[in-house]
Amino acid sequence: MAQEDVFKKIVSHCKEYGFVFPSSEIYDGLGAVYDYGQNGVELKNNIKQYWWQSMVLLHDNIVGLDSAIFMHPTIWKASGHVDAFNDPLIDNRDSKKRYRADVLIEEQIAKYEEKMAKEVAKAAKKYGEAFNEEEFRRTNGRVLEYQAKRDALHQRYSDAMNAGPDLNELRQIILDEEIVCPISGTKNWTEVRQFNLMFSTEMGSTADGAMKVYLRPETAQGIFVNYLNVQKTGRMKVPFGIAQIGKAFRNEIVARQFIFRMREFEQMEMQFFVKPGTELEWFKQWKETRLKWHKALGFGDDHYRYHDHEKLAHYANAATDIEFLMPFGFKEVEGIHSRTNFDLSQHEKYSGKSIKYFDPESNESYTPYVIETSIGVDRMFLSVMCASYQEETLANGESRVVLKLPAALAPVKLAVMPLVKKDGLPEKAREIVDSLKFHFNCRYDEKDSIGKRYRRQDAIGTPYCVTVDHDTLTDGCVTLRDRDTMTQERVAISELCSLIEDRVSIPSLLKKI
């Protein structure tokens, strides 16, 4: 099946099974805003817990914070967001569609890379075992030609972005590369304009002279302006980190690909404060630690890759993305940045207050450097959904849709089903739910045939189901069914908790990091 179709199926699955709904749907929705349904909210909370515990429980030098969404507007001046948090946009006059100029060019660069990859794949097939990719890339005329075009475009694009960006040059690149609008197929482009991504609103009544405030576009600044509060009251010593999960808002120009790019989304960010000069060492360490966190979910190491940034933001001295293989290609899920002391120094300058750290060991005061790990909850949710969604043909010829979610992230851990709705079986099943519900999320299900009930649980990723039958009333045992293998075993009710709890708990995942 084409990857595009797989993605469409995942989107409709999310809606059909109560994971994600379009916001305000009965009013025809609101662009790039989504709501999480009864199963989605559980999965999302489990992802957040997995992240939070991996930061705050596993590191005794990392603590949490929950700062407000509204902050003093000068913070966004100091951070550079008022002046520089812009995307260059361009419109196609025929389709009236709006695009990010930088994305159009990046896609063109990717096209050259795809062409090279195709040539390599063709040759690999032709030459079989004897194929030497490195030599082929070095000597093949076509590959060299694409490589040269790609490099020249990349250089021109980087120069244009670093020069402000140079909006005329960005437009010229689009014209020279003959990039067409995917909808109209024409090159009838407008000028490129800058567009600030921050939402603003007014605080206080207008009569008092209302103040323009912004909805935060990242959670990080709440950590920076509180870092000394936390350091002093928590008696933290550098190196230490502050973790935060919270909403962020960006007025994205092109919001597509479902919950990949939203206007209201959630971030999990951790800022790690280190001694100047040690930041690149810590950057390396966090890069590795974060990849391990992703890989512990068990989707396969080939689903991840690093993308080191060549073009660094003005405040960074190293940056990488962790990319995940979505049905629409490798895409950024998390960013890891060495942000130097840019943010803290800026806040010092704009607030006029000293926020230096006093190091009791060296007896000196300094502004710490910062390593940031920043991951979108919603993008993480999407990557988990995409990796878990599977359609299987069973031995009896039937097919099933199963979400092979890591058990610790699954919304429901155990479904308890009476074989029939009589003879005391429902009561027994409810008794089991009542005794286990304090340990993990259980669901009682009595409607439809057992087969249908299994399918329903498979579709939401429930790792275990138990069936209560007539024998249960006399032997105290139930049939425990495994989602992935579909094997069934007879187990005592008294053993259920210990059998399941360990396998579905967040610590079971944390131990794999």
Cβ-based neighbour number of residue 118 at 10 Å: 13
Looking at beta carbons, which pairs linking 130-138 to residues 24 or more positions away fall under 8 Å?
none
Residue 406 binds ligand ATP (CB under 6 A): no
Q: Which CB sits closer to ligand ATP, 51 or 189?
A: 51
131 vs 127: CA distance, rounded Å: 5
271 vs 373: CA distance, rounded Å: 7
Number of residues that bind ligand ATP (CB under 6 A): 16
Cβ-based neighbour number of residue 109 at 10 Å: 16
Q: What are phi and psi of 458, to 5 degrees?
A: -60, -40
Whether 463 and 410 have beta carbons less than 8 Å apart is answered as yes
Nearest CA-CA partner of 297 in 389, 404, 391: 404
Kindly report the three-state secondary structure assignment for every residue of 47-72: HHHHHHHHHHHCCCCEEEECCCCCCC
The span of 144-152, 274-282, 326-334, 455-463 binding ligand ATP (CB under 6 A) equals 326-334
**Shortest distance in whole angstroms from residue 276 CB to ligand ATP:** 23
Q: Which CB sits closer to ligand ATP, 322 or 468?
A: 322
Helix (H, G, I), strand (E, B) or coil at 231: helix
Nearest CA-CA partner of 312 in 272, 271, 346, 340: 340
**Shortest distance in whole angstroms from residue 221 CB to ligand ATP:** 12
- Which residue's beta carbon is nearest to the bound ligand ATP? 376
Helix (H, G, I), strand (E, B) or coil at 267: strand
Query: What is the pattern of x (binds ligand ATP, CB under 6 A) and - over residues 217-236?
Result: -x------------------
Q: Which CB sits closer to ligand ATP, 246 or 411?
A: 246
Residue 378 binds ligand ATP (CB under 6 A): yes
Q: Which CB sits closer to ligand ATP, 332 or 431?
A: 332
Residue 42 binds ligand ATP (CB under 6 A): no
138 vs 115: CA distance, rounded Å: 15
**Shortest distance in whole angstroms from residue 248 CB to ligand ATP:** 7
Residues numbered 179 to 218 that lie near ligand ATP (CB under 6 A) are 218
Binds ligand ATP (CB under 6 A): choice among 262, 316, 417, 465? 262
Whether 382 and 298 have beta carbons less than 8 Å apart is answered as no
Binds ligand ATP (CB under 6 A): choice among 106, 145, 332, 431? 332
Q: Cis (ω within 30 of 0) for the bond into 239?
A: yes
Residue 261 binds ligand ATP (CB under 6 A): yes
Residue 52 binds ligand ATP (CB under 6 A): no
157 vs 433: CA distance, rounded Å: 59
Binds ligand ATP (CB under 6 A): choice among 243, 333, 415, 493? 333
**Shortest distance in whole angstroms from residue 197 CB to ligand ATP:** 9
Contacts of 451 by beta carbon, 8 Å cutoff, 6+ apart: none
Q: Which CB sits closer to ligand ATP, 332 or 359?
A: 332
Q: Which CB sits closer to ligand ATP, 31 or 204?
A: 31
458 vs 462: CA distance, rounded Å: 6
Amino acid identity, residue 52?
W
Nearest CA-CA partner of 418 in 466, 368, 351: 466
Residue 267 binds ligand ATP (CB under 6 A): yes
Residue 265 binds ligand ATP (CB under 6 A): yes
Residue 500 binds ligand ATP (CB under 6 A): no
Q: Which CB sits closer to ligand ATP, 378 or 469?
A: 378
Q: Which CB sits closer to ligand ATP, 32 or 496?
A: 32
**Shortest distance in whole angstroms from residue 35 CB to ligand ATP:** 15
Whether 410 and 40 have beta carbons less than 8 Å apart is answered as no
Residue 370 binds ligand ATP (CB under 6 A): no
Residue 318 binds ligand ATP (CB under 6 A): no
Look at the block and give the residue holding tokens 């603590």: 63
Residue 35 bridge partners (DSSP): 21
Binds ligand ATP (CB under 6 A): choice among 44, 154, 216, 379? 379
Residue 250 binds ligand ATP (CB under 6 A): yes
Residues that bind ligand ATP (CB under 6 A): 218, 250, 252, 261-262, 265, 267, 332-335, 374-376, 378-379
